[in-house]
Structure 1
Amino acid sequence: MTLIQDPAAWVALITLVVMEVVLGIDNLIFISILTNKLPPEHREKARKIGIGLALVMRLALLGTIAWIVQLTEPLFEAFGHGFSWKDLILIAGGLFLVWKATKEIHHSVDPEDHGEDFIASSATTGFASAIGQILLLDLVFSVDSIITAVGMTPHLPIMVVAVVVAVTVMLVAATPLANFIERNPTIVMLALAFLLMIGTTLIAEGMGFHVPKGYVYAAMAFSALVEVLNMFARNARKRKRDAAH
């Protein structure tokens, strides 16, 4: 009740919700791209499981805040930087994202035709693999998200509400975003480029080079705006050709 009546607590909650939603964009883009590679009947289920795991992982980490804070304590020093568990997790997650995005870009540029039999036989393995990869990235983004939350407010209830709201937004936006990406092939390449940039940023953060998140998301927003303008231009040309015929 004290927190409910405190205006500062509401400001902290709104700020933290916005921050958690913004941080969740990276996770959501990865989940959308990965689940779109599954057979249509498995996509919705995989998205719900992936985002559900993100919520469970974040809430579990909130229950171990004392341990989470210790993740920022240096374990060893190299290249003039003290590496903590958080740094190692960010570097591992960044390397995975760079590898995954590079691999998907290569497949998009030089696709391999495996045939329907191969796709049918590997549907189950693909689903399990997708969930495993989503779980791995959920861990990386969850650690980053919770450490950010701990740095913004000392009140656990505010953190829990912010995380639940942010993950709910992710759940609502997951299918529309995935469908939009699937309908617009050029968006896939842009989203993969985003993941490549995010992976590089995570590696830089883990190595001790602070990259302001505002710069990263401003670049993403500008690129997305340019692509939207390109989509409008393509649609206008298409309508013009259809009218001419």
Structure 2
Amino acid sequence: MDSILALAQDPGAWIALITLVVMEVVLGIDNLIFISILTNKLPAEHRVQARRIGIGLALVMRLALLGTVAWIVQLTTPVFEAFGHAFSWKDMILIAGGLFLVWKATKEIHHNVDPIDHKEDLVGGTATTGFAAAIGQILVLDLVFSVDSIITAVGMTPHLPIMVIAVIAAVTVMLVAATPLANFIEKNPTIVMLALAFLLMIGTTLIAEGMGFHVPKGYVYAAMAFSALVELLNMLSRRARQKAKGAAVH
């Protein structure tokens, strides 16, 4: 308790907390986009529940990983060397998660551009199987993003209470933003394709990171923000044209 009170009175601790919360929220965007796209494939009555379960599992997993910080730090220790790069467990988790993201994004892009071929859905056939499959896939990506998130947190501050508060705050933001983001993506088909492209880029970035090629996340998120801005301008332009057509008809 004394240590927590001391942290509360330390301006440096507050700066570290705010910085870490922002970092965790930014890192959570990737997870949130995946959850939004995946749950939108479910029947409408199951979507909110699936999002809450998926994000709740992300919180539980991150808090559990924070309880094993010493073990998490060891994930960066090299396990074997190949192609001139020493691979750690973190590298292998990132590569596996990146390959999974690339596969899912590519598969969903195929379904979007080929309307005839819908024999396979992203989350399965029936509603029950689809719900279970969606939660399972969310859990897999939660693990990948949680490991990356916790390692980032450990690198930014040595204080466990700050990490816990930052993780809870970031996941709370994800929980609040999940449904509005999913609804926005569903109502704008071009946004779906843009979000899938984001997932494809994120998956590629994870693979590159796992292979030892550092890609500054600032560049990735700057590219995503620029693309989103361009798409927003396109949406405003389309709405303006539709209003003009409607006014001309009347």
TM range (shorter): over 0.9
Q: Which amino acid aligns with 1:186?
A: T
Which secondary structure does the structure 1 equivalent of 2:41 belong to?
coil
SS at match of 2:87: strand
Structure 1: gaps spanning 5 or more residues: none
Match of 1:23 in 2: 27
In structure 2, distance between residues paired with 1:120 and 1:192: 18
- Separation in 1 of the partners of 2:86 and 2:50? 38
Structure 1 120/197 Cα, relative in aligned 2: closer, same or farther at 3 Å?
A: closer
Return the match for 1:107 from 108, 111, 123. Answer: 111
Which ranges in structure 2 are unaligned for 5 or more consecutive residues? Answer: none
Query: What does residue 70 of structure 2 align with?
Result: 66
Q: CA deviation at 1:150?
A: 0.1
1:136 corresponds in structure 2 to: 140
C-alpha separation in 1, matches of 2:152 and 2:36: 24
Identity across matched positions, percent: 85
SS at match of 2:8: coil
Whole-angstrom distance in 2 between the partners of 1:93 and 1:155:
28
Q: Distance in 2 between matches of 1:236 and 1:104?
A: 30
Shift of 1:207: 0.1
Cα distance, 1:114 vs. partner? Answer: 5.8
Letter in 2 for 1:29: I
Task: After superposition, give the CA deviation of every residue in 1:66-118 in whole Å (9 maximum; x if it has no partner).
Answer: 00000000000001110000000000000000000000000000024769xxx
- Are residue 155 (structure 1) and residue 159 (structure 2) matched? yes
Distance 1:35 1:22 in 2: 20
The one-letter code sitting in structure 2 at the alignment partner of 1:204 is A
Q: Which residue is equivalent to 2:215?
A: 211
Tell me what 1:127 maps to. Answer: 131
2:82 counterpart letter in structure 1 = A
In the alignment, which of 85, 95, 99 is matched to residue 95 of structure 1? Answer: 99
Q: Could you say which residue in structure 2 is the equivalent of 1:56?
A: 60
Distance 1:174 1:69 in 2: 30
Deviations 1:199-224 (A, max 9, x none): 00000000000000000000000000
Q: What residue identity is the alignment partner of 2:88?
A: S
Q: Which runs of 4+ in 1 moved over 3 A?
A: 112-115
Change (3 A) 1:180 1:68: same
1:141-160 Cα offsets, whole Å, 9 max, x none, are 00000000000000000000
Aligned length: 242
TM-score normalized with structure 2 length:
0.95
2:246 aligned residue: 242
Once residues 232 and 200 of structure 2 are traced to their aligned partners in structure 1, the CA distance between those partners, rounded to angstroms, is 20
Cα deviation, residue 61, structure 1: 0.1
CA RMSD in angstroms, aligned pairs only: 1.3
